[in-house]
Amino acid sequence: MNSLINYRCEGPLALIGLASAPVNALGQALREQLLEACERAAADASVKAIILHGEGSVFSAGADISEFGSPASFAKPDLPSLLTRLTELDKPLIAAIGGLALGGGLELAMACGYRVAEAGARMGLPEIKLGLLPGAGGTQRLPRLIGAAAALKYISSGEPIGTHRAQVLGLLDWVAPTADSLLETAKALALALIHRQAPGRPCRPCRPNWPHPTPGTALLPGYFADYRAANQSRWKGQSAPQRVVAAIEAACNLPLAEGLAREGELFKEAEASTESEALRHVFFAEREVGKLPGLDTGTSIRPVNRVAVIGAGTMGGGIAMNFANAGMAVTLLELRADALERGLALIRKNYETSVERGKLTSEQMEQRLALIHGTLDYANIADADLVIEAVFEELAIKQQVFRTLDEECKVGAILASNTSTLDVDAIAAVTRRPQDVVGLHFFSPANVMRLLEVVRGAATAADVLATTLKVAKRIGKIPVVSGVCFGFIGNRMLEPYSREAHRLLLEGATPAQVDNVLTSLGMAMGVFAMHDLAGIDVSFLVRESRREVLAHDPGYCKLADALYALGRFGQKTNRGYYLYEGRERKDDPEVVALAEKIAGELGIQRRVISDQEIHDRCVLMLVNEGIQLLDEGICQRSSDIDLVWINGYGFPVWRGGPMHYAEGLGLEHLLERIGHYREVLGGYGAMWFQPAHLLERLVASGKTGVERL
Ligand code: 3H9
């Protein structure tokens, strides 16, 4: 068996180094070897104290997430009983925390009697982000160390704790100034403990009922009930937060052994939940997403130090802010001085709002603003390494910009278009360097949304793709690579989803009914509320460019066209699918009347539509399109689609994205339902309810997951 532990003795100290790269995930093999090493040190009379540390830059990122849901997760020695055993050793056990101690990694450190960390280390219990709760004593030991209120705050948010705060709270005994001095500090602490014959575990006050930092003040009666009531709506659809609260409540009310047993029960329930399965799927999807055949560590990367953005509108300004936020200089180019001034003023206003909300200091705001330079002259961006065009969404206008960029920009510059639907190849074709052209589709607001669709044109060079993926990570985005097609991944799937929602209005549903079904599924917003927010005029313009391909469906988004003709553009005009008074949204009987009128003209029989039918038709069309995209090779893998819809369209992360959700419904069921609606919806059904060939092939071959075949 490979050695995952380095064991060495220095005088009276045993040093046990975790050596399971990259992050010392506490899988079964590491657990087994760690236990062996600790037993060896415990049995060796010459060893008087034990130091646990990570051999690389990380202490441990916790349990091995890939083991969850499989027997390996609880294979002996399981993490909870390993940690219980460590608490029984009668020699001082010191955790020397370098880099990170997350989840089971922090629980391991808390099972040690003493903890020292390097100054830059981060500690946390992020299990909730995986639909779990800490399951190896974290919910019981953290409240006993820092108080239940503080423990609840960190465990229910999953946010990391820095060393300074950790020391103030009582989680750390010592902080080493640098990573290099960590082991020496731990050794000095160990020798001091030996010298004063300190016990294996220090005698600390056990204070789970105390909301730190006010020792002596017991939690008020009803504390947990109030906490639940205050957060109920935020937790809608999720069970992990409830389990976290239950476990911490147990820490306050039960002796340690019973509290640990309760935590164990809750953890098992959480591990088996579809919510945790979905969130684990998303965790690995995020780590897979940048991996592409043909790109590897050997692919060269172009240096990107100077960035330029063309167009200082809302989108261009938001894109520029991303770079300034990451500490990169960026030049914003506009054609007219007043437009440039407006753009720069908007950027300042956005930053000022962040300062007002306490998310940024005034100093940070000024530093960021100082990185953004406005210009009216293409000559000032001639030496940019990356240029991102963010002008009006019209092919001819974008092509004109790219002709100019081709003339003005240095050889080797990456030329990117922020188009959301247009043909990147047609844009690249007007340049003499199509290999340097790529699509970078930011989502609005561009400085907030994490999704970035990276559109690979037919000629885009591998190093251009690799470089843009790297830059995307640098500015904190989740980059998903898409091939060229109408709408790329996200908007192409939005089209049939939205089309079906519109059709349902003609058949008898109301905007509120459709939106309620979708928000009950967990969508951040219903499709009609979303169109009202984005602008009915915007989707009208997209349809205008595609009338020919839509001509065979006379009812296609007819209601949306009618609203456009009435000047009801959505929130910006206070009227769209809904009526708006300020931020308040109201149903509008006029919209229903309009839907009735159009249905009458088209001969569509109106009827009562069930919520189930709304769910099925919208979701089926969304997912079917996703499967089709995979079959066409537009996207790399089905989990990439999940990331697009979670991060760009508000699909609930705890459902794992539309494709993961569809797999849960069952591929056979999807195929059967598509067939059902093709039958019952007559001519309309025959027109649109065509299963993707890949779906048919997957079902025929008995597959349960969406993959290329
Ligand atoms: C837990 O502990 C439960 C316990 O309470 C109870 C148990 C009974 N497991 O993200 P990166 C892999 S739940 C398995 O690209 P970074 C990752 O897949 C756990 N694998 O690097 C990737 O593999 P690959 C609680 C893991 O520097 C590679 O490591 N802990 C794990 O951007 C590098 O990862 C967490 O939730 C893991 N635990 O970020 C922490 N962690 O190269 C989860 C990482 O093949 N992890 N990998 O693609 C993280 O948040 C980030 O990975 C971390 C590093 C911040 C550690």
Q: How far apart are CA 282 and CA 131, in angstroms?
A: 11
Token couple for 491: 């908007």
For residue 6, what pLDDT is reported?
97
For residue 557, what pLDDT is reported?
92
For residue 559, what pLDDT is reported?
97
Structural contact between residues 660 and 706, judged by C-beta atoms closer than 8 angstroms:
no
Extract the runs of DSSP E, i.e. beta strands, from 418-550: 437-442, 451-455, 478-482
> What angle separates helix 658-665 from helix 611-632, to the nearest 10 degrees?
110
Position 380 pLDDT exceeds 70: yes
Position 295 pLDDT exceeds 90: no
Quick one: average pLDDT of 507-529? Answer: 97
Position 208 pLDDT exceeds 80: no
Q: What percent of the chain has pLDDT over 70?
A: 98
Q: Give the residue whose CA is nearest to atom 5 of ligand 1.
A: 134
Q: What is the pLDDT of residues 335-372, one digit of tens each?
A: 999 999 999 999 999 999 999 999 999 999 999 999 99
Which helix (H) or strand (E) covers residue 537, if one does? helix 536-544
Better-predicted residue by pLDDT, 295 or 248: 248
For residue 217, what pLDDT is reported?
57
> What angle separates helix 527-534 from helix 536-544, to the nearest 10 degrees?
90
The residue annotated as part of the active site, out of 118, 127, 249, 393, is 127
For residue 92, the 8-state DSSP code is -
Pocket test for ligand 1, best of 4, 23, 159, 280 (most atoms within 8 A of CB): 23
Extract the runs of DSSP E, i.e. beta strands, from 311-435: 330-333, 372-375, 386-389, 414-417
Better-predicted residue by pLDDT, 221 or 599: 599
Nearest to 63 by CA among 36, 108, 99, 103: 103
Sign of CA dihedral 639, 644, 645, 647: positive
Annotated active-site residue 107? The verdict is yes
For residue 121, what pLDDT is reported?
98
Q: What is the pLDDT of residues 536-581, one digit of tens each?
A: 998 998 898 888 888 889 899 999 999 999 999 999 999 999 999 9
pLDDT category of residue 203 using cuts at 50, 70 and 90:
confident
Q: How far apart are CA 124 and CA 158, in angstroms?
A: 7
For residue 18, what pLDDT is reported?
98
Q: What is the DSSP string of 461-474?
A: -HHHHHHHHHHHHH
The CA 61 to ligand 1 mean position distance, Å, reads 5
Token couple for 671: 């195929």
Q: How far apart are CA 292 and CA 84, in angstroms?
A: 43
Q: What is the pLDDT of residues 436-454, one digit of tens each?
A: 999 999 998 999 999 999 9
- Which numbered atom of ligand 1 lies nearest the CA of 64? 9
Ligand 1 close to Cβ of residue 173 (< 6 A): no
Ligand 1 close to Cβ of residue 100 (< 6 A): yes
Q: Give the residue whose CA is nearest to atom 45 of ligand 1.
A: 287
For residue 506, what pLDDT is reported?
98
Residue 517 main-chain phi, psi, to 5 deg:
-60, -40
Q: What is the pLDDT of residues 584-641, one digit of tens each?
A: 899 999 999 999 999 999 999 999 999 999 999 999 999 999 999 999 999 999 999 9
Q: Which fold has domain 490-700?
A: N-(1-d-carboxylethyl)-l-norvaline Dehydrogenase; domain 2 (1.10.1040)
Ligand 1 close to Cβ of residue 26 (< 6 A): no
Position 249 pLDDT exceeds 90: yes
The CATH number, out of the four listed (3.40.50.2300, 1.10.3720.10, 3.90.230.10, 3.40.50.720), of the domain defined by the range 307-482 = 3.40.50.720
Quick one: average pLDDT of 1-9? Answer: 90
The residue extents of the domains of the chain are 5-271, 307-482, 490-700
Angle at the Cα of 422 from the Cα atoms of 420 and 424, rounded to 5 degrees: 105
**The architecture CATH gives domain 5-271:** Alpha-Beta Complex (3.90)
Structural contact between residues 102 and 130, judged by C-beta atoms closer than 8 angstroms:
no
Nearest to 281 by CA among 662, 680, 686, 656: 656
- Which numbered atom of ligand 1 lies nearest the CA of 134? 5
Q: Give the residue whose CA is nearest to atom 52 of ligand 1.
A: 61
Ligand 1 close to Cβ of residue 22 (< 6 A): yes
Position 209 pLDDT exceeds 80: no
Ligand 1 close to Cβ of residue 23 (< 6 A): yes
For residue 213, what pLDDT is reported?
44
Pocket test for ligand 1, best of 287, 296, 639 (most atoms within 8 A of CB): 287
Ligand 1 close to Cβ of residue 496 (< 6 A): no
Residue 511 main-chain phi, psi, to 5 deg:
-55, -40
Ligand 1 close to Cβ of residue 454 (< 6 A): no
User: Helix H segments across 436-510?
Assistant: 462-474, 490-507
Token couple for 583: 């931020």
pLDDT category of residue 646 using cuts at 50, 70 and 90:
very high
pTM for this one?
Answer: 0.94
For residue 549, what pLDDT is reported?
85
Between the CA atoms of 341, 346, 349 and 355, what dihedral angle is there, to the nearest 10 degrees?
-120
Structural contact between residues 346 and 317, judged by C-beta atoms closer than 8 angstroms:
yes
Quick one: average pLDDT of 205-228? Answer: 70
Ligand 1 close to Cβ of residue 142 (< 6 A): no
Q: How far apart are CA 287 and CA 66, in angstroms?
A: 12
Name the strands in the sheet holding 100-102, side by side, starting at the edge strand that comes first in the sequence. 100-102, 122-124, 161-162
pLDDT category of residue 1 using cuts at 50, 70 and 90:
low
Pocket test for ligand 1, best of 30, 60, 65 (most atoms within 8 A of CB): 65
Position 181 pLDDT exceeds 50: yes
Position 670 pLDDT exceeds 70: yes
Per residue in 333-365, is it b (16+ CB within 10 Å) or e — as a string? bbeeeebbeebbebbbebbeebeeeeebeeeeb
Ligand 1 close to Cβ of residue 87 (< 6 A): no
In angstroms, the Cα distances linking 308 to 244, 323, 333, 385, 470 are: 46, 10, 7, 8, 17
Q: Give the residue whose CA is nearest to atom 6 of ligand 1.
A: 135
Annotated active-site residue 356? The verdict is no
